[in-house]
Structure 1
């Protein structure tokens, strides 16, 4: 079942409490902390452009990639309304193929890499990112932690009932493969006041911090820092999100 198809068009409404301005500020704080100049950014798994648009408004030159044409369509509509020109490319993140080198920064926000479920595919993305970066270029990304996917989401069900949208979210965690399968059923009210049902199945891999670091080292990264949930503190065992900041040191 295709991910982020029908879901793409209600994604922003369901995620309306996410502080994307806070995300952008944190990314810029990371860049400042590394004391490097960043002008151009390749954004991976950009979704509906919630990071892409505000970063573009801050005068970064951004090319953004996502696998979902529907998500990119929403991003284009939002950018047009806000008078922002975006460079958007439809591409499977696991098969990253980008040919403009010497990038200042590669960014993947909002746990995009958890959707890559095979080590070989993630290693490919890391190696390609290393190749594309300039000397002292930054590779910044986050993952939903192993703790979050295995324990908080785990085998639990979540749901919400809003005036125009309702959803049910059932999770199943495979302890052998470290995969969480998320069955989403959402109900959208139409013009006649009736609710139409849509379903999607999403799958994410739960990676440990050590597994990610090992793959980064194989790809060539030596300068690797990890931070907990929008801080500059080391992650603990119960953080839901872990940020990785890698610098290409030749």
Structure 2
């Protein structure tokens, strides 16, 4: 079952409480803290462009990559309405293949790498990223922490009944594989007033901070920093989001 297909067209409505402006500010604060000039950015798992578009408006040159053509379609439509030109490519970040090198920055936000569930695929993505960056270039990304996926989301059920959308979200965490399976069922009100149902199944890998750092080191990164929950402090045991900042 394909991920982010029908879901793509209601994704922004369901994520309307996410502070994307705050996310952009944090990314820019990270860049400033590294004293590195960043003009061009390759954004991995860019989704519907919630960071791509505002960063482009701040005069960064951005190319976005996402595995879902539906998510990219929504991003293109949003960008057109806002008068923003985007370069968007459909691609699996686990099989990253980008021709432009000497990049200032590679960015992956909103736990894109949790969807890369195999160690070899993760290492290959990190190695390709290392190759794409210029000397002194930045690799900035975040993951949902092992704590969040195993303790908060794992084996729990969520649901919400909005005016035009109702959803149910059942999680099952596999402790041996450190994988959480998310079964999502959506009921979306159509123009005729009837509700249409569709379902998706998502899998995310719960990585520890140490596992990510080891994979980054294998890929060639030596200057690696990690921060918890939109701060510049080391992640805590109960940090739900861990940011990694790597300089080539």
- 1:242 and 1:147 map into 2 onto residues whose CA distance is 10
User: Does residue 103 of structure 1 match 2:103?
Assistant: yes
- 1:161 corresponds to: 161
Deviation string 1:134-193 (CA, Å, 9 cap, x unpaired) is 011000000000000001011000000000101000000001100000000011011122
Cα drift, residue 195 of structure 1: 1.0
- 1:70 corresponds to: 70
Number of residue pairs matched by the alignment: 248
Deviation string 1:178-222 (CA, Å, 9 cap, x unpaired) is 000000001101112211111000000000000000000000100
1:124 is paired with a residue of what secondary structure? helix
- 2:145 and 2:105 map into 1 onto residues whose CA distance is 23
1:79 is paired with a residue of what secondary structure? helix
- 2:178 corresponds to: 178
- 1:187 corresponds to: 187
Alignment of 1:1-250 (within 5 A): 1-248=1-248
Unaligned runs of 5+ in 2: none
Instruction: State TM-score, norm by structure 2.
Output: 0.99
- 2:218 and 2:227 map into 1 onto residues whose CA distance is 21
- 1:124 and 1:98 map into 2 onto residues whose CA distance is 13
2:7 is paired with a residue of what secondary structure? helix
Which 4+ runs in 1 deviate beyond 4 A? none
Unaligned runs of 5+ in 1: none
- 1:34 and 1:240 map into 2 onto residues whose CA distance is 23
1:88 is paired with a residue of what secondary structure? strand
Range with bigger deviation, 191-200 or 13-22 = 191-200
2:23 is paired with a residue of what secondary structure? helix
1:10 is paired with a residue of what secondary structure? helix
Instruction: State TM-score, norm by structure 1.
Output: 0.99
